[in-house]
Chain A
Amino acid sequence: DTEVTQTPKHLVMGMTNKKSLKCEQHMGHRAMYWYKQKAKKPPELMFVYSYEKLSINESVPSRFSPECPNSSLLNLHLHALQPEDSALYLCASSKRLASSYNEQFFGPGTRLTVL
């Protein structure tokens, strides 16, 4: 399996809901990433995990809570989101923390709409 998968593909939630996004890879990669992408804009890094430990948090609001339960899985827990959080959420993975030798592989994304 050489892909990063993400579920669900689409998610609509209210501002009081709690939901989770899921990302999975079986390539043996030990670095995993969450990005947020608004329409016609580049991806913005949110979180980086390396060997299941949080390595980078780009000052993301606490209503987004990442979790890496094992080396293949990455979750993003959502609570009390705002309409401006509506975006495409991308997961990526690489063998190790990214460098020229460690290509980042991206998932197809979860399209999130907050009402």
Chain B
Amino acid sequence: DAKTTQPPSMDCAEGRAANLPCNHSTISGNEYVYWYRQIHSQGPQYIIHGLKNNETNEMASLIITEDRKSSTLILPHATLRDTAVYYCIAASANAGKSTFGDGTTLTVKP
């Protein structure tokens, strides 16, 4: 897995968009960018993934730069329940494992 770098923490006001950056400058051509989050001690929850095109689902949007060296996860209208640790992972589709880093602790404030 390519190494990813995320800020350790971020704050966001409730109702505003949360933009979580991730740097993966050594990502290889066959590696996807995956995002998960972990609320307290629960199991990680899959959010979204992409290869090079921007992706959107009911939870979030993923913006990947053209050179694929960085990406941004966007939660369009953050709620208090979005407070969690967010993990960005770069891994190939046939990787047998995913390497979780320290992630970004997002705190959504009222």
Our verdict on whether A and B bind, yes or no, reads: no
Residues of B bordering A, CB below 8 Å: none
